[in-house]
């Protein structure tokens, strides 16, 4: 196979895996809420999902940069599918087994996504990074249009078990398709074996980020944005269930609108591809803030659908440019560190904030937590417009000064 053909086989595996993931992600919040009846319990699941990631992030970072990324992806799919089957065998009605499955899926998903972000530049050949990330986003977006609706109806008619069974099957198909990728042998000789001092992820990342102020600013903005996104995603299902008395099928329609927005934005990539990357990155965050506030102020399901569509547009713009900006400024053997640092710190701070937001939702309303998330996101966007432009200008200035000195 050519490099391009293998890349598209990888994208197909991504599509199938993402399609299946929607069945679990749609089911899990409702399963927890049905058993406990508490928004706080949903937030606790997020807390439990985050702790193993924080503890294992140095090991995960080392694995991504020094072991076969192809095998890592396959192992993630295998372990996720196994955890899901074990939950099915317990009839999906034990909150403790459900939490264990959430922990496993979250950890494997964390490893999977960071591995992909580090891996794409190595498998896309001479394809432009923005284009490669757009195609990757397009595959996810296509699955997102249909999967939430199908998953919602599946849960509503056949229950939670079947939706988890479907997800487990897609993990198996993905493993087979990933086998078509070239063998990905990373350096693992004695010089690269991990030392105790090098396993401290933040210290290692600080050395890299210290040399690149623009990259450092970018990572900080991504972390702040992820925290707000975590508040929204952790309370989204509860919001529909509480405010609009919605069920899983209604939630499916709303998420499908998000998918349509993402799909349309990916398809129209050619219209905005020449706009500066930092501008589009900040625009994506600003649009997300506006859509979140609108979502929180919605008076009916139709308005929720419209603002979720706008959220899908915003999310696609953000994802394409955040990945491309980091990938283009990071060496292959450091991408695992940088993406893991960004994801881990996002998880750490999100864990604290989401836990507080869940408590706020139980004391006051879910709507209040979502509105707070949207307002902070808008502030982050305004900060992003200013700081990234300033950092980029400083980088250009230093580069020009260096060239003149030479």
Distance CA 227, CA 354 (A): 8
Give the model confidence (pLDDT) of 257-295 as tens digits: 887 888 888 878 777 778 888 888 899 999 999 998 998
- In sign, the C-alpha dihedral spanning 351, 356, 357, 359 is positive
What angle is formed at CA 190 by the lines to CA 184 and CA 194, rounded to 5 degrees? 80
Least-confidence region, from 157-166, 205-214, 281-290, 331-340? 205-214
Q: What is the mean pLDDT of residues 312-328?
A: 87
Share of the chain above pLDDT 70, in %: 81
Cβ neighbour number for residue 383 with a 10 Å cutoff: 16
CB of 372 closer than 8 Å to CB of 357: yes
Q: Is the pTM of this model over 0.75?
A: no
Q: What is the mean pLDDT of residues 29-40?
A: 74
Local confidence band at 39 (pLDDT 50, 70, 90 cut-offs): low
Give the model confidence (pLDDT) of 110-156 as tens digits: 899 888 888 888 887 767 788 888 888 788 777 777 777 788 788 77
Cβ neighbour number for residue 311 with a 10 Å cutoff: 26
Whole-number pLDDT of residue 287: 93
Alpha-carbon separation of residue 166 from 53, 200, 383 (angstroms): 26, 38, 42
Is the pLDDT at 392 greater than 80? The verdict is: no
């Amino acid at each position: 196979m050519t490099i391009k053909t293998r890349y598209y086989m990888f994208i197909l595996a991504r599509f199938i895996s993402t399609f299946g993931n929607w069945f679990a992600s749609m089911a899990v919040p409702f399963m927890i809420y049905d058993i406990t009846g508490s928004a706080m319990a949903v937030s606790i699941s997020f807390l439990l999902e985050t702790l193993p990631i924080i503890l294992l992030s140095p090991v995960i970072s080392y694995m991504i940069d020094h072991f076969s990324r192809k095998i890592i992806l396959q192992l993630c799919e295998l372990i996720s599918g196994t955890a899901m089957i074990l939950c099915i065998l317990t009839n999906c009605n034990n909150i403790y087994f459900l939490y264990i499955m959430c922990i496993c899926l979250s950890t494997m998903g964390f490893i999977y996504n960071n591995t992909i972000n580090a891996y794409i530049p190595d498998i896309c050949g001479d394809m432009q990074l923005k284009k490669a990330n757009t195609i990757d986003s397009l595959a996810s977006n296509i699955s997102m249009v249909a999967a939430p609706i199908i998953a919602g109806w599946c849960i509503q008619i056949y229950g939670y078990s079947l939706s988890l069974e479907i997800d487990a099957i897609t993990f198996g198909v993905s493993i087979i398709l990933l086998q078509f990728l070239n063998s990905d042998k990373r350096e693992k000789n004695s010089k690269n074996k991990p030392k105790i001092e090098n396993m401290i992820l933040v210290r290692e990342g600080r050395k890299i980020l210290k040399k690149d102020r623009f990259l450092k600013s970018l990572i900080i903005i991504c972390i702040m944005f992820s925290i707000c996104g975590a508040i929204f995603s952790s309370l989204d299902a509860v919001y529909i269930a509480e405010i609009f008395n919605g069920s899983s099928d209604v939630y499916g329609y709303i998420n499908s609108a998000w998918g349509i927005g993402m799909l349309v934005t990916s398809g129209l990539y050619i219209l905005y591809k020449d706009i500066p990357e930092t501008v589009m990155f900040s625009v994506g965050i600003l649009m997300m803030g506006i859509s979140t506030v609108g979502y929180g102020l919605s008076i009916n399901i139709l308005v929720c659908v419209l603002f979720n569509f706008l959220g899908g547009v915003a999310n696609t713009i953000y994802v394409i440019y955040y990945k491309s900006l980091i990938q283009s400024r990071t060496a292959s053997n450091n991408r695992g560190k940088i993406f893991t640092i960004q994801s881990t710190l996002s998880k750490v701070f999100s864990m604290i904030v989401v836990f507080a937001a869940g408590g706020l939702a139980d004391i006051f309303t879910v709507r209040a937590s979502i509105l707070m998330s949207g307002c902070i996101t808008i502030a982050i966007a305004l900060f992003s417009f200013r700081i990234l432009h300033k950092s980029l200008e400083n980088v250009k200035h230093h580069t020009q000064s260096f060239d003149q000195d030479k």
